[in-house]
Amino acid sequence: MSFFKAENLAINFGGVKAVDGVNFEINKGECFTIIGPNGAGKTTIFNLISRIYDSTEGKMTFDGQDITKVPPHAIASLGIARTFQNIELFEHATVLQNLLVGRHCHSRTGLFSELAFTPSVRRAEFAHREKVEEVIDFLDLQHYRESLITNLPYGVRKVVELGRALCTEPKLILLDEPSSGLNVEETQDMSFWIDDIKKDLGITVLMVEHDMGLVSEVSDQVLVLNYGRMLAFGSPQEVQNDPEVIKAYLGE
Amino acid sequence: MRFLFKTDYNQDIRIAKHSGYYWSYGLLLLIVIAAPYFLEGYYIGQMTQLFIIAMAGVGLMLLAGYTGLVSLGHAAFFGIGAYTEAVLTSNGVPLPFMEEPVIFPFVISMPLAAIFAALAGVVIGIPVLRLTGIYLAIATFAFALVIEEILSRWESVTNGYTGLLVESLYVGDTELTDGAPFYFLSLGLLVLVILISINLLRSPTGRAMMAIRDSEVSAQSMGVNLARVKTTAFALSAGITGLAGALFAHKLGFLSPESFTVFQSLELLVLVVVGGIGSLHGAIFGAIFVLALPQGLAILKDYLPTAIAETPGMEPFIFGLILVLVIIFEPYGIYGRWLKIKHYFQMFPVYKKATFKRQKAYMKSERLK
């Protein structure tokens, strides 16, 4: 039984088949990467998994559960967290508050006890903050804890977004181009963190990435998409030597 | 400049961030509690009005400032609260098994007024959940027009344009709805509403509201149920505004639909924007502004040439002008300016203007909805 499985996944936008019959399986604890030229449907697959889009066809199973029709806000509590390609942080809030929103799927306090801020709400807040501090330690964000997102440089925002996803305590984390906009050094850090997330935290990673250096460093399996269809599948080395893939990227 | 060294999660959570807060807000509270013993009756009335408007402002602030949903129809909730209070405490409600209409005591009628307004908030909240920005504003605007029409046409209950007399309330022999007692009632309720709002904003639901304001799609991916949190925000906002309306009914003493028109909605929105959007302080500053401006203009009129002073529509014009100027030059309103002044003195003499300069936002991903 695979950890995550997409069967014959498809979505149309009008006449455009953005994703067209894609099948893949992710095993628990591995790093699975989707690559492909621009417009290949990589981010669309992410939006399908996080249920922002409804798939036209196909089925997705996660951890033995069918998630094809799960409402989008329930995805996080099932154990799937994501980051966004162009960073979707809460800009008028501090890093700490952003990370605390990541704890939202674990909050069980009722509205009226929150309005009165009862001791149970306070205890729950303590527990959330302890978890958040673990993530802050893990990603070395101590320095930025109280900074507003608007005042942070791009590279740090990228890490904060990763942190926010980790705060949901996911079993599967979707990283949409984790290295885009990062310099060489930051990309190196990111690759260490992805490795740590996989090995130390035991979280399965699904990522979309263009930087082939990063891909071959951290991925176990690579899926290549082109025009919404699967082009190739295998280890990073196999995929890079595949003539079809070279053709898609470089032309003939 | 004070640097805080945090050694405890409570330091993050508690309302007063450091001991200075006890001094400044304690002093403020002392002043407003002592005020009625020094002020004349007219000023006590004005202060009471200020508290009521500030409460309505806090209500709209939760919705517009913290959840990012703009409402052009908050006068409707204000009106629902006011009329509910008036009907419950003055005319009474015919209930089964009762020979005479039941007149409610204010400890029951005021919460009921808030609950009625909150229910109206839910009713309007659910269908307009999918709308944002200008479309939401239009929908709430339409809702306010409907309510205004109902208030004027449902004559058996509201007495239409003839108006509805609101009875004064008594506790023992003292009149509660006038002078100092009403001042303290309004102040107490305002403080309560502010405390509730602070509690909300430091707990998960409040953070979810701010998350929705900044990015709906990622809030959703973090497990925020958009429909539920938005409806909650609408209900709370409407409920608080309704409670303010209930107090307002007693302040006016006489209700007619003309008190709850679109202009009132706009005034609340101006309050929120000029006061400082996205801060509870802003609601208070905004209420002071909204209340003081007409008075200031009235004084100013004596010094202006007659041709200008007598021009009809001068007041709305100046209202609008100030709104536009604030949006352009001080997007965070009076509270934003206040923060800058505070920062200037904290950092003296090395204040840098750039601290508050808005940085160019990085590219936003394509909005998914």
Which of A44, A46, A90 best probes binding to B when mutated, by most B CB atoms within 10 angstroms?
A: A90
User: Residue A224: phi, psi to the nearest 5?
Assistant: -105, 130
Say which amino acid occupies A64: G
**Whole-number Cα distances in Å, B174 to A150, B178, B181:** 54, 9, 8
- Residue B131: exposed, middle, or buried by beta-carbon count in 10 A (0-12, 13-18, 19+)? middle
- How big is chain B by its Cα radius of gyration, in Å? 22
Q: Which amino acid is at B172?
A: G
Structure tokens at B208: 């979810």
Reported as a single tens digit per residue, the pLDDT across A31-45 is 999 998 888 889 999
Contacts made by residues A194-199, CB under 8 angstroms, sequence distance 24+: A194/A31, A194/A218, A196/A138, A197/A166, A197/A173, A198/A29, A198/A30, A198/A31
Query: Which residues in chain B land under pLDDT 50?
Result: 359-369
Contact B361 A73 (CB under 8 A): no
Q: What are phi and psi of A225, to 5 degrees?
A: -110, 150
Q: Is A26 helix (H, G, I), strand (E, B) or coil?
A: strand
With contact defined as beta carbons under 8 Å apart, do B71 and B136 qualify? yes
B129 by Cβ neighbours in 10 Å (0-12 / 13-18 / 19+) ranks as middle
Is B39-356 CATH 1.10.3470? yes
| Residue-averaged pLDDT of chain A | 91
Of residues A73, A85, A164, nearest to B225 (C-beta):
A73
pLDDT value at residue B368: 38
SS3 for B261-299 is CHHHHHHHHHHHHHHHCCCHHHHHHHHHHHHHHHHHHHH
Helix (H, G, I), strand (E, B) or coil at A11: strand
Tell me which chain A residues have a C-beta less than 8 angstroms from the C-beta of B203: 109, 114, 117, 121, 125
Enumerate the β-bridge partners of residue A65.
Answer: A62
Contact A22, A229 (CB under 8 A): yes
> Residue A76 has what pLDDT?
92
Asked if A105 and B222 come within 8 Å (Cβ–Cβ), the reply is: yes
> Mean pLDDT throughout A115-132?
92
pLDDT of residue B1: 61
Residue A161 has pLDDT above 80, yes or no: yes
CB-CB under 8 Å, A100 with B223? no
Mutate to test the interface with A, among B222, B240, B352, B366 (most CBs of A within 10 A): B222
**Dihedral sign computed on CA atoms, order A233, A235, A240, A241:** negative
Where are the strands (E) in A63-167, listed by range? 65-66, 80-82
At B357 the pLDDT is: 59
Residues near B119 by Cβ (< 8 Å), separated by ≥ 6? B235
The whole-angstrom separation of Cα A182 and Cα A225 is: 24
Identity of the residue in A82, A96, A114 whose CB atom sits nearest the CB atom of B199? A114
For the segment B298-333, what is each residue's pLDDT rounded down to a tens digit? 888 888 887 777 778 777 788 888 888 888 888 888
B163 close to B254: Cβ distance less than 8 angstroms:
yes
Q: Is the pLDDT of residue A113 over 70?
A: yes
CB contact under 8 A, A151 and B359: yes
Instruction: Output the 3-class SS for B170-209.
Output: EECCEECCCHHHHHHHHHHHHHHHHHHHHHHHCCHHHHHH
B213 contact residues in A (CB cutoff 8 A): 90, 92
CATH of domain A4-79+170-250: 3.40.50.300
pLDDT in tens, A180-232: 889 999 999 999 999 999 999 999 999 999 888 899 999 999 999 998 888 88
Residue ranges per domain, chain B? 1-38, 39-356
Give me the pLDDT at residue B363, please.
41
Give the start-to-end residue ranges of the domains of chain A: 4-79+170-250, 90-155
Query: Beta strands A80-82 and A172-176: pairing type?
Result: parallel
Residues of chain B contacting residue A97, judged by C-beta atoms under 8 Å apart = 207, 210
Angstrom distances, CA of residue B264 to CA of B77, B131, B145, B257, B261 = 11, 23, 12, 11, 5
Instruction: Considering only the beta carbons, identify the residue of B199, B204, B358 that sits closest to A107.
Output: B204
Angstroms from A68 CA to nearest CA on chain B: 15
User: Nearest by CB to A111, which of B205, B214, B361?
Assistant: B205
DSSP bridge pairs for A150? none
Residues 6 or more apart whose Cβ sits within 8 Å of residue B135: none
Instruction: Give the closest of B207, B221, B365 to A100, CB-based.
Output: B207
Q: How many beta-carbon pairs below 8 A join chains A and B?
A: 125
